[in-house]
Amino acid sequence: MAAPVLWQFRFSHFNEKARWALDWKRFPHVRRSLLPGLHVPRVMWMTGQKSVPVLVVDGHAVRDSTRIIETVEALRPDPPLYPPDEPARRRALALEEHFDEELGPHIRRALFYDLLPHGDVAAEVLTIGARPATRAIYTAMFPVIRAAMRMDMRIDETGARLGREKTVAALDRVEAELQPSGYLVGDRFTVADLTAAALLSPLVLPPEFPYPLPAAPPESIASFRASLAGRPAFRWVEEMYRRHRGTSAEIAA
Protein backbone atom coordinates (compact mmCIF):
# COMPACT_ATOMS: atom_id res chain seq x y z
CA MET A 1 0.00 0.00 0.00
CA ALA A 2 1.32 3.43 -0.95
CA ALA A 3 2.26 5.77 1.87
CA PRO A 4 -0.12 8.68 2.53
CA VAL A 5 0.96 11.88 0.79
CA LEU A 6 0.45 15.40 2.12
CA TRP A 7 0.40 18.02 -0.61
CA GLN A 8 1.31 21.28 1.07
CA PHE A 9 2.72 24.76 1.09
CA ARG A 10 5.62 24.79 3.53
CA PHE A 11 4.94 28.24 4.99
CA SER A 12 1.17 28.22 5.42
CA HIS A 13 -0.78 28.19 8.64
CA PHE A 14 -3.64 25.96 7.40
CA ASN A 15 -1.05 23.54 6.04
CA GLU A 16 0.73 23.68 9.39
CA LYS A 17 -2.53 22.75 11.09
CA ALA A 18 -2.81 19.54 9.05
CA ARG A 19 0.93 18.82 9.26
CA TRP A 20 0.98 19.24 13.04
CA ALA A 21 -1.94 16.82 13.39
CA LEU A 22 -0.11 14.20 11.31
CA ASP A 23 3.04 14.66 13.39
CA TRP A 24 1.11 14.62 16.69
CA LYS A 25 -0.57 11.37 15.62
CA ARG A 26 2.78 9.92 14.54
CA PHE A 27 1.09 9.23 11.21
CA PRO A 28 3.81 8.39 8.65
CA HIS A 29 3.41 10.34 5.43
CA VAL A 30 5.30 11.67 2.45
CA ARG A 31 5.28 15.45 1.90
CA ARG A 32 5.04 17.02 -1.52
CA SER A 33 5.61 20.76 -1.35
CA LEU A 34 4.07 23.05 -3.96
CA LEU A 35 4.58 26.71 -4.82
CA PRO A 36 1.66 29.14 -4.55
CA GLY A 37 0.22 29.92 -7.96
CA LEU A 38 2.05 27.09 -9.71
CA HIS A 39 0.16 24.52 -7.62
CA VAL A 40 -3.22 25.05 -9.24
CA PRO A 41 -3.17 22.52 -12.12
CA ARG A 42 -2.06 19.60 -9.97
CA VAL A 43 -4.44 20.31 -7.09
CA MET A 44 -7.36 20.96 -9.45
CA TRP A 45 -6.67 17.60 -11.09
CA MET A 46 -6.70 15.84 -7.71
CA THR A 47 -9.63 17.57 -6.05
CA GLY A 48 -11.50 19.86 -8.45
CA GLN A 49 -10.53 22.89 -6.38
CA LYS A 50 -7.27 24.77 -5.86
CA SER A 51 -6.51 24.92 -2.15
CA VAL A 52 -4.07 22.91 -0.08
CA PRO A 53 -3.48 21.01 2.14
CA VAL A 54 -4.60 17.79 0.51
CA LEU A 55 -3.93 14.37 2.04
CA VAL A 56 -4.00 11.41 -0.33
CA VAL A 57 -4.60 8.26 1.70
CA ASP A 58 -5.64 4.86 0.35
CA GLY A 59 -6.08 6.46 -3.05
CA HIS A 60 -8.56 9.05 -1.79
CA ALA A 61 -7.78 12.79 -1.79
CA VAL A 62 -8.94 14.55 1.38
CA ARG A 63 -8.93 18.33 1.13
CA ASP A 64 -9.17 20.93 3.92
CA SER A 65 -7.27 20.79 7.21
CA THR A 66 -10.41 20.06 9.25
CA ARG A 67 -11.36 17.07 7.09
CA ILE A 68 -7.78 15.83 7.15
CA ILE A 69 -7.76 15.85 10.96
CA GLU A 70 -11.15 14.11 11.00
CA THR A 71 -9.79 11.42 8.67
CA VAL A 72 -6.58 10.86 10.59
CA GLU A 73 -8.47 10.81 13.91
CA ALA A 74 -10.59 7.95 12.55
CA LEU A 75 -7.61 6.04 11.17
CA ARG A 76 -5.38 6.56 14.23
CA PRO A 77 -7.41 7.46 17.33
CA ASP A 78 -4.39 7.60 19.66
CA PRO A 79 -3.17 10.00 20.79
CA PRO A 80 -6.57 11.67 20.48
CA LEU A 81 -7.19 15.22 19.32
CA TYR A 82 -10.94 15.00 19.96
CA PRO A 83 -12.04 14.90 23.61
CA PRO A 84 -13.74 11.62 24.58
CA ASP A 85 -16.87 13.09 26.18
CA GLU A 86 -19.48 14.62 23.90
CA PRO A 87 -19.87 18.12 25.46
CA ALA A 88 -16.10 18.70 25.45
CA ARG A 89 -15.84 17.34 21.92
CA ARG A 90 -18.55 19.71 20.69
CA ARG A 91 -16.78 22.64 22.34
CA ALA A 92 -13.41 21.71 20.84
CA LEU A 93 -14.90 21.37 17.36
CA ALA A 94 -16.76 24.67 17.74
CA LEU A 95 -13.51 26.42 18.65
CA GLU A 96 -11.75 24.76 15.71
CA GLU A 97 -14.43 26.12 13.39
CA HIS A 98 -14.30 29.55 15.00
CA PHE A 99 -10.56 29.94 14.50
CA ASP A 100 -10.75 28.47 10.99
CA GLU A 101 -13.35 31.04 9.96
CA GLU A 102 -12.63 34.07 12.14
CA LEU A 103 -8.83 33.95 12.21
CA GLY A 104 -7.37 31.83 9.39
CA PRO A 105 -8.21 33.83 6.25
CA HIS A 106 -7.98 37.17 8.04
CA ILE A 107 -4.48 36.86 9.50
CA ARG A 108 -3.31 35.60 6.10
CA ARG A 109 -4.77 38.63 4.34
CA ALA A 110 -3.24 41.06 6.84
CA LEU A 111 0.25 39.58 6.69
CA PHE A 112 0.29 39.14 2.92
CA TYR A 113 -0.78 42.77 2.50
CA ASP A 114 2.46 43.82 4.22
CA LEU A 115 4.63 41.07 2.71
CA LEU A 116 3.72 41.10 -0.99
CA PRO A 117 5.13 44.58 -1.81
CA HIS A 118 8.57 43.25 -0.83
CA GLY A 119 8.93 41.00 -3.86
CA ASP A 120 12.29 39.40 -3.15
CA VAL A 121 11.45 38.70 0.50
CA ALA A 122 7.97 37.42 -0.36
CA ALA A 123 9.30 35.11 -3.07
CA GLU A 124 11.95 33.80 -0.66
CA VAL A 125 9.30 33.05 1.98
CA LEU A 126 7.01 31.30 -0.50
CA THR A 127 9.83 29.15 -1.90
CA ILE A 128 11.28 27.93 1.40
CA GLY A 129 13.09 24.66 0.75
CA ALA A 130 12.99 24.97 -3.04
CA ARG A 131 16.07 24.51 -5.20
CA PRO A 132 17.96 27.69 -6.14
CA ALA A 133 16.99 27.42 -9.81
CA THR A 134 13.32 27.03 -8.88
CA ARG A 135 13.54 30.01 -6.53
CA ALA A 136 15.13 32.15 -9.25
CA ILE A 137 12.38 31.31 -11.75
CA TYR A 138 9.67 31.92 -9.18
CA THR A 139 11.19 35.27 -8.22
CA ALA A 140 11.22 36.33 -11.86
CA MET A 141 7.55 35.33 -12.18
CA PHE A 142 6.56 36.88 -8.88
CA PRO A 143 4.98 40.14 -10.16
CA VAL A 144 2.37 38.06 -12.00
CA ILE A 145 1.90 35.69 -9.05
CA ARG A 146 1.55 38.64 -6.67
CA ALA A 147 -1.22 40.19 -8.78
CA ALA A 148 -3.05 36.86 -8.89
CA MET A 149 -2.74 36.41 -5.11
CA ARG A 150 -4.07 39.89 -4.43
CA MET A 151 -7.09 39.24 -6.61
CA ASP A 152 -7.74 35.70 -5.41
CA MET A 153 -7.52 36.48 -1.68
CA ARG A 154 -8.90 40.04 -1.90
CA ILE A 155 -5.76 41.48 -0.39
CA ASP A 156 -6.26 45.22 0.00
CA GLU A 157 -6.03 47.90 2.68
CA THR A 158 -9.57 47.32 3.95
CA GLY A 159 -9.02 43.57 4.20
CA ALA A 160 -5.68 44.07 5.92
CA ARG A 161 -7.24 46.39 8.51
CA LEU A 162 -9.98 43.85 9.21
CA GLY A 163 -7.37 41.10 9.32
CA ARG A 164 -5.40 42.86 12.04
CA GLU A 165 -8.61 43.42 14.03
CA LYS A 166 -9.57 39.76 13.67
CA THR A 167 -6.10 38.68 14.77
CA VAL A 168 -6.37 40.73 17.95
CA ALA A 169 -9.88 39.35 18.50
CA ALA A 170 -8.51 35.81 18.17
CA LEU A 171 -5.94 36.54 20.89
CA ASP A 172 -8.81 37.87 23.03
CA ARG A 173 -10.77 34.67 22.40
CA VAL A 174 -7.85 32.43 23.36
CA GLU A 175 -7.41 34.34 26.62
CA ALA A 176 -11.14 34.17 27.36
CA GLU A 177 -11.36 30.43 26.69
CA LEU A 178 -8.22 29.29 28.50
CA GLN A 179 -8.94 26.82 31.29
CA PRO A 180 -6.95 26.52 34.55
CA SER A 181 -5.16 23.60 32.89
CA GLY A 182 -3.65 25.94 30.33
CA TYR A 183 -5.69 24.38 27.51
CA LEU A 184 -8.79 25.61 25.72
CA VAL A 185 -10.92 22.55 26.47
CA GLY A 186 -10.55 20.38 29.56
CA ASP A 187 -7.16 19.40 30.87
CA ARG A 188 -5.35 18.19 27.78
CA PHE A 189 -4.22 19.22 24.30
CA THR A 190 -7.01 19.00 21.72
CA VAL A 191 -7.84 20.04 18.18
CA ALA A 192 -8.91 23.43 19.58
CA ASP A 193 -5.43 24.17 20.92
CA LEU A 194 -3.73 22.87 17.79
CA THR A 195 -5.92 24.97 15.50
CA ALA A 196 -5.54 28.23 17.40
CA ALA A 197 -1.78 27.83 17.80
CA ALA A 198 -1.17 26.77 14.20
CA LEU A 199 -3.26 29.58 12.73
CA LEU A 200 -1.49 32.15 14.92
CA SER A 201 1.96 30.79 14.02
CA PRO A 202 2.64 33.32 11.20
CA LEU A 203 2.33 36.07 13.82
CA VAL A 204 4.19 34.36 16.66
CA LEU A 205 6.88 32.63 14.55
CA PRO A 206 7.66 29.91 17.12
CA PRO A 207 11.10 28.33 16.66
CA GLU A 208 9.52 24.87 16.53
CA PHE A 209 7.72 25.73 13.27
CA PRO A 210 9.22 23.18 10.83
CA TYR A 211 10.08 25.66 8.06
CA PRO A 212 11.60 28.80 9.60
CA LEU A 213 11.52 32.12 7.77
CA PRO A 214 14.58 32.55 5.55
CA ALA A 215 14.58 36.32 6.06
CA ALA A 216 13.45 38.87 8.60
CA PRO A 217 9.84 40.01 8.05
CA PRO A 218 9.20 43.53 6.75
CA GLU A 219 9.13 46.27 9.39
CA SER A 220 5.35 46.65 9.29
CA ILE A 221 4.90 42.96 10.18
CA ALA A 222 7.66 43.07 12.79
CA SER A 223 6.03 46.12 14.39
CA PHE A 224 2.58 44.49 14.50
CA ARG A 225 4.11 41.36 15.99
CA ALA A 226 6.04 43.34 18.61
CA SER A 227 2.86 45.18 19.66
CA LEU A 228 1.25 41.84 20.57
CA ALA A 229 4.22 39.87 21.87
CA GLY A 230 3.40 40.65 25.50
CA ARG A 231 -0.11 39.20 25.27
CA PRO A 232 -0.81 36.03 27.30
CA ALA A 233 -2.24 34.40 24.17
CA PHE A 234 0.97 35.12 22.24
CA ARG A 235 3.00 33.43 24.97
CA TRP A 236 0.44 30.59 25.05
CA VAL A 237 1.11 29.85 21.37
CA GLU A 238 4.82 29.67 22.13
CA GLU A 239 4.08 27.27 25.00
CA MET A 240 1.85 25.01 22.86
CA TYR A 241 4.63 24.73 20.32
CA ARG A 242 7.23 24.00 22.98
CA ARG A 243 5.11 21.33 24.63
CA HIS A 244 3.36 19.68 21.75
CA ARG A 245 4.84 20.34 18.31
CA GLY A 246 7.05 17.27 18.63
CA THR A 247 8.96 15.57 15.85
CA SER A 248 8.06 15.11 12.22
CA ALA A 249 6.26 11.98 11.00
CA GLU A 250 7.44 12.65 7.44
CA ILE A 251 9.00 9.66 5.68
CA ALA A 252 11.02 9.33 2.49
CA ALA A 253 9.07 8.77 -0.70
How confident is the prediction along the chain (253 residues), in pLDDT tens digits per residue?
A: 789 999 999 999 999 999 999 999 999 999 999 999 999 999 999 999 999 999 999 999 999 999 999 999 999 999 999 999 999 999 999 999 999 999 999 999 999 999 999 999 999 999 999 999 999 999 999 999 999 999 999 999 999 999 999 999 999 999 999 999 999 999 999 999 999 999 999 999 999 999 988 888 999 999 999 999 999 999 999 999 999 999 999 999 8
Closest CA to 142 of 249, 24, 11, 36: 36
Pick the CATH number of 5-75 from 3.40.720.10, 3.40.50.410, 3.40.30.10, 1.20.1530.20: 3.40.30.10
Q: What is the pLDDT of residue 253?
A: 84
- Coil, strand or helix at 91: helix
Whether 5-75 and 86-244 share one fold: the answer is: no
Q: Which residues pair with 5 in a beta bridge?
A: 30, 56
**Count of beta carbons in the 10 Å neighbourhood of residue 224:** 18
What is the domain partition of the chain in residue ranges? Answer: 5-75, 86-244
Q: 3-state class of 189 per DSSP?
A: coil
CA distances from 72 to 113, 148, 243, 248 (A): 33, 33, 21, 15
Taking the model in full, what pTM does it have? 0.96
The Cα–Cα gap between 83 and 101 comes to 21
Q: Is it true that domain 86-244 has CATH number 1.20.1050.10?
A: yes
**Amino acid 59: pLDDT:** 92
State how far the Cα of 27 lies from the Cα of 78, in Å rounded to an integer.
Answer: 10
CB 197 within 8 A of CB 183: no
Residue 215: the pLDDT is 80
Question: Residue 104 has what pLDDT?
Answer: 98
